[in-house]
Amino acid sequence: MKTAFLRIVYATFVVFGGAYLYVHRESLDALSAYSVLTLIVLSALFHIGVAANALQLSAVGHFYKRDISLPRAYAINLVYGYYNLLVPFKGAVALKGYVLNNIYGLSYLEYLGAMLLTGLTVVVGSLTAILLGAVLSNTGLGLEETITGGANTGKLWILAIVLFCVAGLALFMNKEKLDGFAGTARAKLELLTSSKVWIISLSSYAMFVSASAARLAILGASVGSAGVSVWPSLLVANVLALVRLVAITPGNVGVREAVIVVLGEVMGLGHQEALAVALGDRAIMVLNQIASGSILHRRVLSWMKDAG
Has residue 94 been placed in a domain?
no
Report the number of distinct structural domains present in the chain: 1
Q: What mean pLDDT is predicted for residues 199-223?
A: 91
Asked if residue 232 has pLDDT above 70, the reply is: yes
Residue 198 lies in a domain: yes
CA–CA gap between residue 228 and residue 216 (Å, rounded): 9
- In angstroms, the Cα distances linking 249 to 12, 89, 139, 212, 243 are 19, 6, 40, 20, 12
Q: What number is the average pLDDT over the span 279-298?
A: 86
pTM, two decimals, is 0.79
Is residue 39 one of the residues assigned to a domain?
A: yes
**What is the residue range of 289's domain?**
23-67+107-293
Whether residue 161 is contained in a domain is answered as yes
Q: Would residue 90 count as lying in a domain?
A: no
Helices (H) and strands (E) in the chain, counts: 14, 0
- Going from the C-alpha of 4 to that of each of 100, 224, 298, 305, the distances in angstroms are 20, 51, 13, 10
Measured CA angle at 89 (ends 240, 9), to 5 deg: 115
Is residue 11 one of the residues assigned to a domain?
Answer: no
Residue 227 has pLDDT above 70, yes or no: no
Is position 140 within any domain?
A: yes
Instruction: Taking residues 233-259, report their average pLDDT.
Output: 85
Q: Comparing 19-23, 101-105, 202-206, 207-211, which segment has the lowest mean pLDDT?
A: 19-23
Residue 297 pLDDT > 60, yes or no?
A: yes
> CA-CA distance, 82 to 50, in Å (whole number)?
12
Q: Is 218 inside any structural domain?
A: yes
Interatomic CA distance for residues 222 and 203, integer angstroms: 29
Distances (CA, A) of 188 to 60, 88, 172, 178: 11, 28, 14, 11
